[in-house]
């Protein structure tokens, strides 16, 4: 038997949330059984746990779109008992039981070996949010962005994606500007590597289709008017990596930045990203993200705390990343 956070459908959108003892035999089919040591709370997990958006696609569900741990059993030759592994996405925690549990059974194709140099706890302090931040950085670089071209804006700066994106871009030599609703966290954002802190209120209401050219690039996890204003303020030939919708799923923009300034809007998805790109992202995270920044950006909680912290996360009250120590 092992413990899991189990979501059960109810008459209202919010599911019943309970720490439940499960039997291995109840786990879904898969090639690899993993003893999870750490998982995390991502924005999507918080939506699933609170029922604020229809993230869960089959019931009952163990949420948790990522985890790290050690292989217990494997019928796939790529993994052997004891191997350290991690997983992000692939519908885990949405349509297949996920990482907010002490054991999971998944397809071998979905796993990655834990990169050398990272512990399971560090990998989850990065988590899906940090891996997505790296996918955004890779998208900016694939589109030719170099530090000499000018500053890069990161929106949702105190969130999981934003905070790791700041640290990665600063490490690569970019001048990083951070947009936040929590100006009181300016010192934290500067410690991560931001040099200029912008009040998000200046970006999250309707603006002109073309504005002063301010940034060479941007990582946006906010969407809606913020993404529209960011695109309108990108310098000629610049690039925006868009991955999130913390303000909204809408994109009330015009084509002006794209057809008059040659701005590129690069979409970033972490869930179905191909295996090779994931492997590259995690190798780069292990090499390039300054590990000493992780503790100051991470709160560690127990499985039993996940429901309460999910509500705080959606209320914008969590700074950085939340690691769940599932054995605590």
Q: Does 39 bind ligand NDP (CB under 6 A)?
A: no
Interface residue with ligand NDP among 70, 172, 271, 327 (CB under 6 A) is 271
Sign of the torsion formed by the C-alpha atoms of 272, 275, 277 and 278: positive
Nearer to ligand NDP, 91 or 316 (CB): 316
Q: Pick between residue 15 and residue 159 the one whose CB is nearest to ligand NDP.
A: 159
CA distances from 149 to 33, 69, 107, 189, 264 (A): 47, 41, 42, 22, 15
With respect to ligand NDP, which residue has the nearer C-beta, 41 or 234? 41
Q: CB-based contacts of 253: which residues, under 8 Å, 6+ apart?
A: 209, 227, 228, 231, 232
Give min distance, CB of 254 to ligand NDP, in A: 20
Write the CB contacts of 295 (distance below 8 Å, at least 6 apart in sequence): 125
Sign of the Cα torsion 40, 41, 42, 48 reads positive
Comparing CB distances to ligand NDP, the nearer of 38 and 103 is 38
Torsion angle of alpha carbons 159, 162, 165, 166, nearest 10°? -100
Cβ distance to ligand NDP smaller for residue 168 or 313? 313
Cβ count near 249 (within 10 Å): 9
Exposed, middle or buried, 23 (CB in 10 Å: 0-12/13-18/19+)? exposed
Binding of residue 86 to ligand NDP (CB under 6 A) = no
* Secondary structure of residue 23 in the 3-state scheme: coil
Other Cβ atoms closer than 10 A to 105: 18
221 contacts ligand NDP (rule: CB under 6 A): yes
User: Total number of residues binding ligand NDP (CB under 6 A)?
Assistant: 33
Q: Which of 5, 114, 120, 129 binds ligand NDP (CB under 6 A)?
A: 129
Stretch binding ligand NDP (CB under 6 A), from 12-20, 126-134, 227-235, 251-259: 126-134
Would you count residue 269 as binding ligand NDP (CB under 6 A)? yes
Rule CB under 6 A: choose which of 2, 43, 97, 282 binds ligand NDP.
Answer: 43
Residues 40, 49: Cα–Cα separation, whole Å: 13
Establish if 229 lies at the interface with ligand NDP (CB under 6 A).
no
Give me the residues that bind ligand NDP (CB under 6 A), please.
Answer: 42-44, 128-129, 132, 156-162, 180-182, 200, 204, 221-222, 226, 243-247, 268-271, 313, 316, 318
């Amino acid at each position: 038997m092992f413990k899991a956070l189990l979501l059960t459908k109810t008459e209202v959108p919010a599911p019943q949330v309970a720490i439940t003892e499960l039997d291995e035999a109840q786990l879904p089919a898969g090639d690899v059984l993993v003893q999870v040591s750490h998982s995390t709370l991502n924005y999507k997990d918080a939506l699933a746990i609170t029922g604020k958006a229809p993230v869960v696609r089959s019931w009952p569900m163990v949420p948790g779109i990522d985890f790290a741990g050690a292989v217990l059993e494997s019928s796939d030759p790529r993994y052997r008992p004891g191997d350290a592994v991690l997983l992000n996405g692939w519908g885990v925690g949405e349509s297949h039981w996920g990482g907010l549990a002490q054991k999971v059974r998944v397809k071998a194709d979905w796993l990655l070996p834990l990169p050398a140099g990272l512990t399971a706890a560090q990998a989850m302090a990065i988590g899906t949010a940090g891996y997505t931040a790296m996918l955004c950085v890779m998208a900016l670089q694939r589109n030719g962005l170099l530090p000499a071209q000018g500053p890069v804006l990161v929106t949702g700066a105190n969130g999981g994606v934003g905070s790791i994106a700041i640290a990665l871009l600063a490490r690569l030599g970019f001048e990083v500007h951070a947009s936040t609703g929590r100006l009181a966290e300016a010192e934290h954002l500067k410690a991560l590597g931001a040099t200029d802190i912008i009040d998000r209120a200046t970006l999250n209401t309707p603006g002109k289709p073309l504005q002063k050219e301010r940034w060479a690039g941007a990582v946006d996890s906010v969407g809606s008017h913020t993404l529209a204003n960011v695109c309108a303020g990108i310098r000629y030939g610049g690039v925006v990596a868009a991955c999130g919708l913390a303000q909204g799923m809408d994109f009330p923009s015009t084509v002006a930045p794209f057809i008059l300034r040659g701005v590129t809007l690069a979409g970033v998805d972490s869930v179905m990203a191909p295996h090779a790109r994931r492997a590259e992202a995690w190798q780069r995270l292990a090499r390039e993200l300054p590990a000493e920044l992780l503790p100051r950006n991470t709160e560690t909680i127990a499985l039993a705390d996940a429901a309460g912290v999910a509500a705080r996360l959606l209320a914008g009250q969590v700074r950085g990343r939340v690691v769940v120590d599932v054995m605590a």
